[in-house]
Amino acid sequence: MIMTLESCSFPIADTIALRAESVASIDTSIISVGAIIGRATPLLSHSLMIVPFVGVISTFQSDPLIRQSNTLERCLKGVEGVREGSVLRIDLQNRIHALDTLAVENALSIKLVHCGENHSLGLTMRTPGDDIDLIFGMLYSEGIIESNLDVHSLSIDSDEAKVILEDSCKFDAPEHRRRTTKSSACGVCGKESISNLLHTHGPKLRDNFSLDITSISQAAESLISSQRIFELTGGTHAAAFFSEDCELISLREDIGRHNALDKLIGSYIRQPIYSTPPLLFVSGRASFELVQKCIRFGIPIMASVGAASTLAVDMAIEHNLTLLSFVRDGRMVVHSTPHRISNY
């Protein structure tokens, strides 16, 4: 038997209504996660079916699915890389069957063809969307190509990508061979040797400008507020380019932090003419593979919401990169080359 608030007689109906009202006001990571991780906050109403853990509700055999928020269905339209799934939200007093939104993680197989020979780059776990940007960015970041002119053609069919390189492309297959699947958590997993990761080459970093500390802090707020997939799922990283005025130029998201940056860089590499932005902002920590990609592309300032690793700092110092971490609420930690930061 399925019971509703309308079918209950006093005082049971009043009891359930009071519990429903208390649930609607709860602001926790279980029911309302907006304050914790920035996701769309569920809007619960008394017309929705709430299932408290009390004896009278034990007669429930099935519960309707509650959408995470009243506006979520509209928000999902046109957003690639997300999927809804049924979940059970629980706390110490209640259980709610709901529809939750998840970031998609799928494998992308990449095969290179160079001078008539096939080479596999293995599998990359990524959030679908901007796959062409991802591939261009990955090929450039790993030194396989120097520009879009090195790519003769690129095709994607059912999560399988085929890249035909120009014969003139200086591609060294043994250097880039991978033995294992590359996960979305690590941009360097599967490399045969760690040593070839430390030979980073890129253009000379610009030194004739500085960014205001207040503007950089505002850029951090812009980064956070512009993450559409993260707002829906709480499960993606973001990388964004900003101008000298710290205005948002472009942003990419992915379940893997290095994928988000590869997508961003790839969107530029694909263009015949582009100007390298002065500031890169990442939503997570500053790991050395992200710093390496930043240096490779010639970005002089890299900022992160999270912490920086030791190797990231060492690489930034060696290559004259301004590396900032813990940028939030008007504060930041400057690890290297502070002269590009002004008004502090």
Q: Is the whole-model pTM more than 0.85?
A: no
Dist CA 289 CA 196 (whole Å): 12
pLDDT at 188: 56
Higher local confidence (pLDDT), 236 or 37: 236
Dist CA 299 CA 270 (whole Å): 17
Pairing of strands 117-126, 106-114: antiparallel
Q: Which residues contact 177 (CB under 8 A, 6 or more apart)?
A: 119, 192
Q: Is the pLDDT of residue 163 over 50?
A: yes
Residue of 186, 189, 246, 294 with catalytic role:
186
Dist CA 314 CA 310 (whole Å): 6
* pLDDT one-digit tens code per residue, 170-191: 988 876 665 334 445 555 554 4
Q: Quick one: CA dihedral 65, 71, 75, 81, positive or negative?
A: negative
pLDDT at 16: 36
Dist CA 71 CA 79 (whole Å): 14
**Which residue, chain included where needed, has tokens 């591609």?**
171
Burial 128-148 (b: 16+ CB within 10 A, else e): bbbbebbbbbbbbbbbbbeeb
Q: Is the pLDDT of residue 281 over 70?
A: yes
Burial 13-35 (b: 16+ CB within 10 A, else e): eeebeebbeebbeeeeeebbbee
With respect to CATH, is domain 106-185 assigned 3.10.20.10?
Answer: yes
Structural domain boundaries of the chain? Answer: 106-185, 211-342
- Between 33-37, 78-82, 257-261, 290-294, the lowest mean confidence (pLDDT) is in 33-37
> Which superfamily, per CATH, for 211-342?
Cytidine Deaminase, domain 2 (3.40.140.10)
In the residue annotation, 186 being an active-site residue is answered as yes
Q: What is the mean pLDDT of the chain?
A: 79
* pLDDT one-digit tens code per residue, 38-86: 455 444 333 334 444 443 333 333 455 555 544 455 566 668 899 998 9
Q: What percent of the chain has pLDDT over 70?
A: 70
Q: Which residues contact 143 (CB under 8 A, 6 or more apart)?
A: 175, 176, 201, 296
pLDDT at 327: 96
pLDDT at 31: 32
